[in-house]
């Protein structure tokens, strides 16, 4: 389905005219809503204004009014007027919470087995006595009933909505007719019943990883299965698994997921092909990392009869296989993302899907969801189409292969690759002109031996081949988001999934300015728009310099966290009003949701997706994304410690990346490993922490340790058990 043509470029209004038109549209729409009162709906507003405004201007007016908090567009197209722009006025008072029968929150279990549950709208957490916790574990999402509201709110847990963790390390106790699993962790304070058929080779007293497969609310003991028997052969392997489990990710898939997978084959029915746009004769290829197996995006290019180019961005149609409500879907939603550790991937989908059926492997027909762009000779997008397709990839490039073709001008599809690279640079330049921030932080990778032990550290520098793919994926994501947003205000009034990124915190920007000044860069942030320009200018200056990694890391930390939601506020870092994730459904659940929403928009299904349910899924995806990042950071720290264990006593140049009252954090320039220098190793005097300046100052010498300062450090210890790298200041 294609978008409507916009007004002729020659007639494009200037900023003042556009602002005036937007205000006029807003005023007409607002007047109509006030006149309609409680009867205001999208269906009633459009006919009322059709003699004053175009459909596009009505949509523009509605969008601006909603963005500014003047109105709220609710389910079934109901438009609610918010005359007072104070959002607090429209929130339910906390006192009303007491009269609501059920509430939802996340459980925080105490040492004695009681719990506290945080409920939105209540100033105090709800206390749950031990007798009413009913099998809830640390971090579980729970449904509660508030039973009293005297000194503090008290209640009981009615049901578990979502477990924070289902796998645990511990010991197996095998008896004659059954077995019990005893967990190591406080999170699970009851034994797990394990049938003898679910031991998976475990023997009495073995250390194992077990997974809970059934635990009814109020039931005495959960039922579980042994996932893996632990051995001391490779402690690193087991520690990586513990990192995944500790962050809420299962290291294997439940049996019912594998059973459901058995129904799928690589045979594509003819009736499915007949319902899709057939792109198998169009030149198509993938560009991915050398070790990748899950190819979820491909690019096609061809010349059209009218002389224009057609660029296709083709994405694996995961939603064709992962049907809503299936065991696969529930497991994918729970994980929400693949997790990439230095020596392994914990996938969102089983290998049969991620690496075989869905993966866009060369010389195989594959089902895809595509955005097709028609470009003129100046690379302006004249038209786009979003459609379900079938493709046949002609070639699999690694990033290194594609980069070699671009640099040497020789190799397969050299003309097509060079043309795509030229177009991608044009797309990037337009994005940067709009105010996107060019974060180009080098990725740190470990060289590993066959047991996973790190042998060295390598910086992965992104080149044209990487950026080429990224630019077309960003374009597809933005286009799909605009399309979804447009339809949301149209006849169908559908909710949509957005990837949003808020403006940076001024306090963090000030802190970053102070750090940059330590390196001789005098920068100042006056407004969010200028912040993007300042970042881009600085990032160009530091490219290739020793402080590049530190300043880029701190620049990223000064930004707000991106997240998924049905309420769009735009994406600040990309300078996009509308943005979503559409291009990686093999490894991200929000992309699967977007594909389903597109199917609904394109008329493939009549099923409606409830906005509140969709928002809950978005929230879970954001939470699991952060957990995945935590797991990745923890695993990188582990590998850093492993790498430094034979370098105790060595001295390295470093940069201070953090300052706290207990000491300073230092990143070593050569290997990018970070450790801590405790205050007792800073020198023979007391050091005082100055919070406002974020620095430590010697009580006698007045020697300072500031963020960004260069220091030379000695490695004192690298403790794998404590997960700590201790450093000292070199003499």
Question: Which pLDDT score, from 0 to 100, does residue 268 have?
Answer: 93
Average pLDDT over residues 107-131: 82
Q: For position 490, what pLDDT does the model report?
A: 55
Q: How far apart are CA 431 and CA 571, in angstroms?
A: 12
- Report percent pLDDT > 90 for the chain: 46
What distance in Å separates the CA atoms of residue 134 and residue 650, rounded to the nearest whole number? Answer: 53
What mean pLDDT is predicted for residues 582-609? 85
Looking at residue 87, what is its pLDDT?
40
pLDDT at 346 over 80: yes
Residue 524's pLDDT band (cuts 50, 70, 90): confident
Confidence of residue 163 (pLDDT cuts 50, 70, 90): confident
∠ at Cα 21 (15, 24), nearest 5°?
140
Range among 163-177, 247-261, 358-372 with highest mean pLDDT value: 358-372
Phi, psi of 692 (to 5 degrees): -65, -40
Mean pLDDT of the chain: 85
228 φ, ψ (degrees, to nearest 5):
-160, 140
Residue 96 pLDDT greater than 50, yes or no? no
Q: How confident is the model at residue 493 (pLDDT cuts 50, 70, 90)?
A: low
Please give the pLDDT value at position 522: 87
Is residue 84 scored above 70 in pLDDT?
no
Most confident range (mean pLDDT) of 140-144, 212-216, 589-593, 722-726 is 589-593
Averaged over 304-315, what is the pLDDT? 96
Question: Which has the higher per-residue pLDDT, 357 or 70?
Answer: 357
pLDDT in the model for residue 119: 81
- Which band of pLDDT confidence, cut at 50, 70 and 90, is reported for residue 30? confident
In the predicted model, what is the mean pLDDT of residues 143-155?
Answer: 83
DSSP state string for 31-89 = HHHHHHGGG-BHHHHHHHHTTTS-HHHHHHHHHHHHHTTSEEE-GGGBEEE--S--GGG
Q: What is the pLDDT of residue 40?
A: 80
Sequence-ordered strand ranges (E) for 304-431? 309-316, 339-341, 344-346, 365-375, 381-392, 395-398
Instruction: Identify the H or E element spanning 514.
Output: helix 506-518
556-579 pLDDT, tens digit each: 888 889 999 999 999 999 999 999
pLDDT of residue 234: 65
Does domain 9-87 correspond to CATH entry 1.10.3470?
A: no
Tokens of 118: 């945080």
CATH topology assigned to domain 94-162: OB fold (Dihydrolipoamide Acetyltransferase, E2P) (2.40.50)
d(CA 122, CA 119): 6
Mean pLDDT for the stretch of residues 666-673? 90
- Summarised one tens digit per residue, pLDDT across range 421-462 is 999 999 999 999 888 988 776 678 899 888 888 998 888 888
Contact 674, 667 (CB under 8 A): yes
From CA 146, how far away is CA 132, in angstroms rounded? Answer: 11
Q: Per-residue confidence at 15, pLDDT binned at 50, 70, 90? A: very low
Predicted confidence at residue 7, as pLDDT, reads 36
Whether the Cβ atoms of residue 29 and residue 58 lie closer than 8 Å to each other: yes
pLDDT at 101: 62
Nearest to 490 by CA among 56, 30, 81, 66: 56
Judge contact between 368 and 317, C-beta under 8 A. Answer: yes
The band of 100, judged by pLDDT with boundaries at 50, 70 and 90, is low
Closest of 576, 574, 579 to residue 436, by C-alpha: 574
Helix H or strand E segment including 429: helix 414-433
Taking the model in full, what pTM does it have?
Answer: 0.75
- Residue 77's alpha-carbon distances to 13, 135, 471, in angstroms, are 30, 41, 35
- Residue 26: pLDDT band (50, 70, 90) is confident
Model confidence at 722, pLDDT cuts 50, 70, 90, reads confident
pLDDT of residue 498: 96
Q: Who has greater pLDDT, 369 or 55? A: 369
Average pLDDT of the segment spanning 291-295: 91
Burial bucket for residue 108 (CB in 10 Å: 0-12, 13-18, 19+)? middle
Half-sphere exposure of 329 (CA within 13 A, CB side): 12
The encoded tokens of residue 44 equal 């009633």
Confidence of residue 74 (pLDDT cuts 50, 70, 90): low
The pLDDT score that the predictor gives to residue 600 is 82
Which CATH code fits 645-729? 2.40.50.140
Domain ranges of the chain: 9-87, 94-162, 270-502+564-631, 506-559, 645-729
Q: Residue 583's closest CA among 470, 439, 466, 468?
A: 470
CA–CA distance, 427 with 468 (Å, rounded to integer)? 10
pLDDT of res. 172: 92
63 pLDDT higher than 80: no
Rounded CA separation 481/476 (Å): 9
Instruction: Quote helix, strand, coil % in the chain, to nearest 5.
Output: 35, 25, 40
Span 24-29, average pLDDT: 77
Mean pLDDT of 680-698: 90
Q: Round to whole Å and give the CA distance between 410 and 152.
A: 73
For residue 189, is pLDDT > 90? no
Say which range, 93-97, 125-129, 520-524, 721-725, has the weakest mean pLDDT.
Answer: 93-97
Q: How confident is the model at residue 392 (pLDDT cuts 50, 70, 90)?
A: very high
Q: pLDDT at position 45, please?
A: 80
90: pLDDT strictly greater than 50 = no
Give, for 211, the enclosing helix (H) or strand (E).
strand 207-214
Predicted confidence at residue 92, as pLDDT, reads 36
Domains 94-162 and 645-729 share a fold: yes
DSSP symbols for 225-283: EEEEE--STTHHHHHHHHHHHHTT--SS--HHHHHHHTT--SPPPHHHHHTSEE-TTS-
User: What does residue 464 show for φ and ψ, rounded to 5 degrees?
Assistant: -55, -40
Other Cβ atoms closer than 10 A to 476? 27
pLDDT in the model for residue 185 = 67
Alpha-carbon separation of residue 12 from 7, 20, 499, 670 (angstroms):
7, 13, 29, 52
Residue 407 has pLDDT above 50, yes or no: yes
Q: Given the structure tokens 């009681």, which residue do they identify?
A: 114
Residues in contact with 18: Cβ distance below 8 Å, sequence separation at least 6, in sequence order: none
Q: Mean pLDDT across the stretch 249-260? A: 90
């Amino acid at each position: 389905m294609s978008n409507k043509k916009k007004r002729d470029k020659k007639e494009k209004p200037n900023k003042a005219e556009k602002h005036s038109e937007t205000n006029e549209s807003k005023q007409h729409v607002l007047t109509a809503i006030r006149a309609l009162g409680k009867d205001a709906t999208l269906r009633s507003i459009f006919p009322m204004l059709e003699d004053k405004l175009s459909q596009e201007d009505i949509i523009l007016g509605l969008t601006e009014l909603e963005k500014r908090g003047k109105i709220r567009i609710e389910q079934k197209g109901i438009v609610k007027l918010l005359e007072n722009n104070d959002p607090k006025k429209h929130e339910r008072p906390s006192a009303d919470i007491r009269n609501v029968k059920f509430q939802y929150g996340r459980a925080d279990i105490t040492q004695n087995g009681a719990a506290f549950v945080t409920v939105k709208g209540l100033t105090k957490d709800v206390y749950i006595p031990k007798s009413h916790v009913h099998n809830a574990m640390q971090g579980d999402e729970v449904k509660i009933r508030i039973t009293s509201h005297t000194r503090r709110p008290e209640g009981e847990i009615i049901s578990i909505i979502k477990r924070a963790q289902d796998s645990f390390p511990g010991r197996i106790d095998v008896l004659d007719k059954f077995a019990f699993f005893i967990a190591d962790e406080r999170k699970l304070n009851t034994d797990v019943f394990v049938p003898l058929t679910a031991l998976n080779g475990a023997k009495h007293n073995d250390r194992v990883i077990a997974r809970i497969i059934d635990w009814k609310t109020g039931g005495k003991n959960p039922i579980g299965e042994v996932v893996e028997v632990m051995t001391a052969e490779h402690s690193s392997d087991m520690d990586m698994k513990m990192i995944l489990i500790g962050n809420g990710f299962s290291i294997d898939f439940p049996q019912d997921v594998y059973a459901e997978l058995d129904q799928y084959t690589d045979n594509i029915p003819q009736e499915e092909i007949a319902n899709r746009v057939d792109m198998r004769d169009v030149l198509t290829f993938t560009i991915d990392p050398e070790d990748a197996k899950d190819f979820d995006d491909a690019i096609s290019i061809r010349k059209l009869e009218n002389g224009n180019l057609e660029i296709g961005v083709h994405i694996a149609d995961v939603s064709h296989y992962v049907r809503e409500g299936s065991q696969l879907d529930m497991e994918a939603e729970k994980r929400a993302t693949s997790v990439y550790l230095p020596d392994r991937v914990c996938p969102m989908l089983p290998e049969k899907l991620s690496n075989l059926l869905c993966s866009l492997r060369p010389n195989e027909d594959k089902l895809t969801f595509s955005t097709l762009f028609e470009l003129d000779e100046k690379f302006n997008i004249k038209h786009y189409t979003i459609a379900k397709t079938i493709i046949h990839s002609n070639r699999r490039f690694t990033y290194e292969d594609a980069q070699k073709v671009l640099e040497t001008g020789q190799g397969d599809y050299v003309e097509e690759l060079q043309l795509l690279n030229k177009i991608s640079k044009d797309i990037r330049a337009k994005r940067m002109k709009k105010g996107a921030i060019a974060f180009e932080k080098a990725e740190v990778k470990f060289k590993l031996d066959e047991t996973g032990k790190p042998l060295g550290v390598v910086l992965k520098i992104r080149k044209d081949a990487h950026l080429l793919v990224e630019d077309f994926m960003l374009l597809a994501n933005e286009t799909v988001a605009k399309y979804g947003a447009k339809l949301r205000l149209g006849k169908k009034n559908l909710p949509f999934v957005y990837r949003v990124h808020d403006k940076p915190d001024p306090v963090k920007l000030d802190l970053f300015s102070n750090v940059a000044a330590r390196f001789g860069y005098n920068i100042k942030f006056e407004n969010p728009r200028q912040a993007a320009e300042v970042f881009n200018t600085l990032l160009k200056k530091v490219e290739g310099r020793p402080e590049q990694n530190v300043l880029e890391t701190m620049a990223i930390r000064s930004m707000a966290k991106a997240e998924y939601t049905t309420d769009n506020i735009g994406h600040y870092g990309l300078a996009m009003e509308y943005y979503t994730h559409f291009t990686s459904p093999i490894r991200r659940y929000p992309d699967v949701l977007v594909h389903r929403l597109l199917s609904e928009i394109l008329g493939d299904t009549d099923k409606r997706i409830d906005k509140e349910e969709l928002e809950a899924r978005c929230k879970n995806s954001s939470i699991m994304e952060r957990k995945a990042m935590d797991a990745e950071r923890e695993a990188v720290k582990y590998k850093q410690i492993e790498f430094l264990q034979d370098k105790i006593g060595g001295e390295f140049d470093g940069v201070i990346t953090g300052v706290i009252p207990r000491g300073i954090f230092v990143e070593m320039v050569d290997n990018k490993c970070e450790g801590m220098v405790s205050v007792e190793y800073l020198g023979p005097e007391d050091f005082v922490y100055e919070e406002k300046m974020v620095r430590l100052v010697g009580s006698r010498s007045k020697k300072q340790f500031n963020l960004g300062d260069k220091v030379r450090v000695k490695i004192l210890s690298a403790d794998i058990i404590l997960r700590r790298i201790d450093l000292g200041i070199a003499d």
